[in-house]
Amino acid sequence: MNYKNIRFHSVEDSINLITKYQEKTYNIIEKIFKDTPRYDKIKEVFDTLDDKYFMAPASGKLDYHCAWPGGLAQHTLNVVRHAISLSKTLCPGMYSLENVVFSALFHDLGKVGDGNEPYFVPELDSYWREKRGTYYGHNNNIVQMQHSERSLSLLAKFGVPIEDIEWQAIHRHDGFYTESNRDVLRHHREELLSYIMHVADCWSCKKEKHDLVNGTIRPICM
């Protein structure tokens, strides 16, 4: 991947895009959860985390996906969209829209960190930024765990009620990429929702990188 040819958005466009992701996220919360008992708690997660969520990247490297401020919200919105579409096509009527959207909306929540300290910290070395496209590294000052586990840990901290199928879908969303998932996934005993979440996530990551390389999407400025 040639990082020199990547053109970043202007500051103004970047602010507009992050604002758009924020509005879309809150629209989803209003549309899907407004009349559910979890609404207040779910809204509290985003109201409290605020910039910690909406300014977080989805990964540390351009070679992965959405490694820029707002990237986490951008990626999450893609996963929500693909998860809804996949569940309608592959297992219609099996899961409620609320189950699907909740799992997708929170699958990567752990990438904000532990609520105080961030999961990603900026890479300051110009060699890694300019030559290797690495804009963030992992924060070693927080308890180390998989980001899916951190998503569940954060939801617990906020006291957000979660159904077992959602817990499993969030925990397993990295699918076979995570060694510890292999034993359970290969027996195909897991909920279809867990596979839906993995495919939606995987597809979103691939598409985001594909679109970046093709210039269809551009990084938000840092």
Count CB-CB contacts under 10 A for residue 180: 12
Nearer to Fe ion (CB atom), residue 123 or residue 201: 201
Scanning 22-30, 80-88, 124-132, 193-201 for contacts with Fe ion by CB under 5 A, the matching segment is: 193-201
- Any contact of residue 190 with Fe ion (CB under 5 A)? no
66 CB-side CA count, 13 A: 26
User: For Fe ion, what does the binding mask look like between residues 55 and 94, x meaning CB under 5 A?
Assistant: ----------------------------------------
Nearer to Fe ion (CB atom), residue 22 or residue 181: 181
Tell the smallest beta-carbon distance from residue 139 to Fe ion (Å): 16
Nearer to Fe ion (CB atom), residue 15 or residue 202: 202
Tell the smallest beta-carbon distance from residue 76 to Fe ion (Å): 7
Angstrom distance (rounded) from CA 103 to CA 14? 27
Torsion sign across C-alpha atoms 58, 64, 69, 71: negative
User: For Fe ion, what does the binding mask look like between residues 93 and 132, x meaning CB under 5 A?
Assistant: ---------------x------------------------
Residue in 83, 79, 155, 80 with CA at minimum distance from that of residue 112: 155
Nearer to Fe ion (CB atom), residue 18 or residue 73: 73
Angstrom distance (rounded) from CA 79 to CA 105? 8
Binding residues with Fe ion: total (CB under 5 A): 2
Angstrom distance (rounded) from CA 75 to CA 81? 10
Pull the structure tokens for residue 197.
């979440």
Burial of 183 (0-12, 13-18, 19+ CB in 10 A): exposed
- Any contact of residue 208 with Fe ion (CB under 5 A)? no
Q: Which residues bind Fe ion (CB under 5 A)?
A: 108, 201
